[in-house]
Amino acid sequence: MYNELPVSALPEVEEALQHDPELATACADLLLAQRTLEGLRCEPRPAVSARILEYSRTFPTGS
């Protein structure tokens, strides 16, 4: 999934996926989950950021 295997191991993994339907299904599920997670936003909504900044202004500045 993350291209961590050495190239020499790929044929063995491919063969296992071809001959083990349960393994192939699990791999396909993981790949789908990976693609789905990569497509999610990784930043807060603007309203959340605004609330955090507003809250931070309630603290004394130390000046």
pLDDT in tens, 9-22: 999 999 999 999 99
Claim: this prediction has a pTM higher than 0.85:
no
CA 9 to chain centre: 24
For residue 29, what are its two tokens? 């599920």
pLDDT value at residue 43: 85
For 17-63, write each residue's pLDDT tens digit: 999 999 999 999 999 999 998 888 788 889 999 999 999 999 988 76
CA distance 40 to 7: 30
